[in-house]
Amino acid sequence: MTLSTLNTLLTKREDAVFTVTVNRADKLNAFNPEVLSELNQVLDRIEKEETLKVVIITGAGEKAFVVGNDLEQLAKLDPVAAYEQMRLGQRTFLRIHEFPKPVIAMVNGYALGGGFELALSCDLIVASEKATFGFPEINLNTMPGWGGTQLAAKKLGLNRAKEMILTGAYYPANVCAEFGFLNRIVRHEQLERETMALADQLAEKAPFPLKIAKEAINKGAELNLSDGFQFEAHAYAVNYSAPHTEEGFAKFLTRTK
**Cα separations in angstroms, 109 against 18, 65, 222, 251:** 20, 5, 31, 42
Kindly report the number of other CB atoms within 10 A of residue 2's CB atom. Answer: 8
**Known active-site residue 189:** no
Q: Which of 38, 117, 222, 247 is catalytic?
A: 117
Q: How far apart are CA 100 and CA 50, in angstroms?
A: 11
From 137, 194, 215, 247, the catalytic residue:
137
Residue 38 among the catalytic residues: no
DSSP string, 3-71: EEE-SSEEEEEETTEEEEEE--GGGTT-B-HHHHHHHHHHHHHHHT-TT--EEEEEESSSSEEE--B-H
- Residue 105's alpha-carbon distances to 65, 75, 87, 110, 177, in angstroms, are 9, 27, 21, 12, 15
Q: Which helix (H) or strand (E) holds 185?
A: strand 184-186
- Enumerate the active-site residues: 117, 137
